[in-house]
A and B are shown apart, each in its own frame.
Chain A
Amino acid sequence: MELNFSIEGGDFTQAGQASSRVKKVLKQLGVDPKCIKSIVIALYEAEVNVVAHAHRGQIRIQIEKDKIITIIEDEGPGIPDIALAMQEGFSTASKKVREMGFGAGMGLPNIKKNTNELQIDSVVGESTTVKMVNYF
């Protein structure tokens, strides 16, 4: 089964829409609550990253009987050094974003912690693609 969402950069009030919808669907499928929690946390962080750092993005979610595959693709500045970005506390968030309570540099590490497989690809100045897989 597939679910698709789009995200606009800069609109923090919209972040969380996809994760809320996914949560409802996974509950209806009877997925283990702890597992749902991880997925929702990872997806929310990824959504916020698009809102905070990129211009716009697309979320494609595929749910199968034993796993959920989430691909978040955005148009934006890209990530020059992915290994560095993955470190706890690393952030390039603007002052404005920090004032909104984001930008602690914990998003990507948190995604890592809450997914079984994580792959990040980026073309600097163009786009970032985050692929996450969680097994139920």
Chain B
Amino acid sequence: MHRLPDTYHALKVDAQKCIGCTHCMQSCPTEAIRIRNGLAVIDKKRCVDCGQCLRACPAKAIFVEQDDLDKIKSFKYRVALFPAVTIGQFPENISENQIYDALLKIGFTHLYELEQPIGFLKDSIKEYCRKDKKARPHISTFCPSVVRLIQIRYPSLLDNLIPRKAPHDLGAHLALEQLQNQGAQRDEIGIFYITPCIAKISSVKSPLGEKESIVDGVINMNVLYNKVRKNIRTTDIPDTSDRRETLTRDGILWSLTRGEARHFGERSMAIDGIHNVIRFLERLENEEVPDIDFLELRACDQSCAGGNLTAGNRFLTVERLEHRAKRYESSSKFKDHPIQRLAPKLKSKLISDPIDAKPVFILDRDREKALEKMSKMQRIICFLPGIDCGACGAPNCQALAEDMVNQKAKMSDCVFLQQTWQEENKISTSKALKNMEKKWGKDRFKADCNKRGRRNEGF
């Protein structure tokens, strides 16, 4: 079980591959990226793991740390804990049985589609929403990227968050419970979570509102996808349906857009896509929103079907899952099922600690100093061109001014200012070039048809 510092982020920049092209920097919704010495640098405090940068990078330089699949071998009981979207990655002609069979062939001994007992979570959220009157609308904590966003940028909405854990916690507890009932020891059980996104990696490794992670390893969905494809059998496919006995329609749809919203409140809304979420939270914070009971917010377009570590086309994934869900019963049909015996125990595990604010946009803890910096920023802005070109290594002029007052950048970082200074003989041409090289790396400005960044052509 992991215990990592609470700002753990799975994203890393590969210095060999990064060409400092600024695409990631421009795409980041929290302005967490700067270019230093020709390379992208991510500010961990500001990053919400939304994966926009990963999608925007043309050089595939932003990558994700992950656990080696071989790690499963060190456990006697090897649990693959995977969300229903995993099944949606595959083309329709590959059946659930074939996928389950391939997972067993890879080396897992137990397979848990993690939304199996979703009814417990659904009830728990319903109960909370009915009782809690302190803030409305209630906001789902399903998407860790959204929760982090609220922590750093919308702390006034923290009370709206529903303190309930994610389906993967539920699935993991169910697996543990059932295996231990069969006589397995906790340290013989390895639970491996198959993740559709980097946000879930970070939240599994340093859980929000939880003390430690229940999961023993995390495997990226796209990596697993390749492994499974290689192990698909076309003859003698075993029947694995007993392993999906408690899977429900609600569970299959849970991680898709409206998967939660459809169950809660008289009036509910579902918003997907990080930029849409931000625009909406701005409004919500200003109370420019009608009376809504429940809000489902997801960082990815098409929710987890569009997760940044998925392999399939998100629209096809949604289509397959919706089609698949029709064959399964709704969770309310499981009221008399023996699994209900586990309800009290599992439900008690679903409650999470309150989530705290992590304001990272404050200029200075000292109000007077912050005001000073703010006034200084306003004066600096008057001199910057307002083109937001990114050539200074900051995403826009405003951000550069902010970096300047925080001593993280200099006036000369602005290429336009520097140009004016040369014109006025305030700085020599060679000094100006040196400044540029510092920011963008040596030799960046020499003519060279094979230099880094050339690969950037025509993507």
Which A residues have a C-beta under 8 Å from some C-beta of B? 1, 16, 19-20, 23, 25, 27-30, 33-34, 36-37, 40-41, 44, 63-66, 136
Within the complex, the shortest CB–CB distance from A56 to chain B, in Å, comes to 22
Q: Tell whether, in the assembled complex, residue A28 and residue B286 are in contact, meaning their CB atoms are under 8 Å apart.
A: no
Is B375 within 8 A of A1, CB to CB?
Answer: yes
CB-based contact A29/B156 at 8 Å: no
A65 & B368 in contact (Cβ 8 Å cutoff):
yes
Q: How far is the CB of B364 from chain A (nearest CB, A)?
A: 8
A29 touching B286 in the complex, CB below 8 Å, given contacts A34-B156, A36-B156, A65-B367: no
Taking the complex as formed, is B265 at the interface, i.e. its CB lies under 8 A from any CB of chain A?
A: no
Q: Is the CB of B155 within 8 A of A29?
A: no
**Could you tell me the distance between the alpha carbons of A23 and B288 in the complex, rounded to whole angstroms?**
14
B362 near A65: Cβ-Cβ < 8 Å: no
Residues of A within 8 A of B282 (CB): 20, 23
Q: Is the CB of B371 within 8 A of A23?
A: no
Q: Which residue from chain B places its CB closest to the CB of A19 in the assembled complex?
A: B286
- Chain B positions 348 through 392: 1 when the CB is less than 8 Å from some CB of chain A, otherwise 0: 000000000101011111011011001100100000000000000
Question: Would you call A28 and B374 a contact (CB within 8 A)?
Answer: yes
Q: How far is the CB of B287 from chain A (nearest CB, A)?
A: 6
List 7 additional contacts besides A28-B363, A29-B370; criterion CB under 8 Å: A20-B282, A27-B153, A29-B374, A37-B156, A40-B285, A65-B368, A66-B367
Which label, helix, strand, loop or mixed, suits the secondary structure of the B interface?
A: helix
Contact residues in B for A23 (Cβ distance below 8 Å): 282, 285-286
Which residues of B lie under 8 Å from residue A28 when comparing CB positions?
361-363, 370, 374
Residue pairs across A and B with Cβ atoms less than 8 A apart, 20 shown, are A1-B374, A16-B286, A19-B286, A27-B153, A27-B362, A28-B361, A29-B362, A29-B367, A29-B371, A30-B359, A33-B155, A36-B156, A37-B286, A40-B285, A41-B287, A44-B288, A63-B371, A65-B367, A65-B368, A136-B367
Closest chain A residue, CB of each to CB of B154: A33
A25 touches B288 (CB 8 A): no
Output the nearest chain A residue to B357 by Cβ-Cβ distance: A33
Please provide the 9 A-B residue pairs with the shortest distance between their CB atoms, ordered closest to farther: A33-B156, A30-B362, A29-B370, A33-B155, A1-B375, A65-B367, A28-B363, A65-B368, A40-B286
Once bound together, how far apart are the Cα atoms of A29 and B371, in whole Å?
7
CA of A65 to CA of B374, assembled, Å: 12
Complex Cα spacing A25 to B374, Å:
8
What's the dominant secondary structure at chain A's contact region? helix
- Residues of B at under 8 Å CB distance from A? 153, 155-156, 282, 285-288, 357, 359, 361-365, 367-368, 370-371, 374-375, 378
Contacts of A63 in B (CB 8 A): 371, 374
A-side contacts of B286, CB under 8 Å: 16, 19-20, 23, 37, 40-41, 44
Q: Which of A30, A40, A41 contacts B367 (CB 8 A)?
A: A30
CB distance from A61 to the nearest CB of B (A): 12
B287 surroundings in chain A (CB, below 8 A): 37, 41
Q: How far is the CA of A29 from the CA of B365 in the complex (A)?
A: 8
Is A16 a contact partner of B288 (Cβ separation < 8 A)? yes
From A23, A33, A44, residue with most partner B Cβ within 10 Å: A33
User: Which residue of chain B has the shortest Cβ distance to A48 in the bound complex?
Assistant: B288
Q: Which residues of B contact A29 (CB under 8 A)?
A: 362-363, 367, 370-371, 374
Closest chain B CB from A103 CB (angstroms)? 16
> A27 near B367 (CB under 8 angstroms)?
no
Could you say which residues of chain B place their CB within 8 Å of the CB of A64? 371
Are A30 and B371 touching (Cβ within 8 A)?
no
Contacts of A16 in B (CB 8 A): 286, 288
Pairwise interchain contact A1-B378, C-beta atoms closer than 8 A:
yes
**A30 and B156 within 8 A (CB):** no
Give the complex CA separation of A65 and B378 in angstroms: 17
Please measure, in the bound complex, the distance between the C-alpha atom of A66 and the C-alpha atom of B371, giving whole angstroms.
11
B370 cross-chain contacts in A, Cβ below 8 A: 28-30
Please name the residue on chain A nearest to B364 by beta carbon: A30
Contacts of A66 in B (CB 8 A): 367
Chain B residue numbers with a CB within 8 Å of A19 are 286
Bound: A19/B285 CA distance, A: 11
Contacts of B362 in A (CB 8 A): 27-30
Least distance between B386 CB and chain A CB atoms (Å): 15
CA distance A16 to B287 in the complex (A): 11
CA distance A44 to B357 in the complex (A): 25
Which residue from chain A places its CB closest to the CB of B372 in the assembled complex? A1
* Chain B nearest CB, measured from A13 CB (Å): 13
Give B137 Cβ to nearest chain A Cβ, in Å. 15
Query: How far, in whole Å, are A30 and B361 apart by their CA atoms in the complex?
Result: 8
Q: Which residues of B contact A36 (CB under 8 A)?
A: 156
CB distance from B372 to the nearest CB of A (A): 9
The residue in chain A whose Cβ has the minimal distance to the Cβ of B363 is A28
Q: Report how far A19 CA is from B361 CA in the complex, Å.
A: 18
Cα distance A16–B282 in the bound complex, in angstroms: 11
Cβ-defined contact, A27 with B375, below 8 A: no
Shortest B164–chain A CB gap in Å is 23
Rounded to whole angstroms, the CA-CA distance of A31 and B255 in the bound complex is 36
Which residues from chain B contact A136 at a C-beta distance below 8 Å?
A: 367
- Nearest residue (CB) in A for B158 is A33
Report chain B residues within 8 Å CB of A65: 367-368, 371
A1 touches B367 (CB 8 A): no
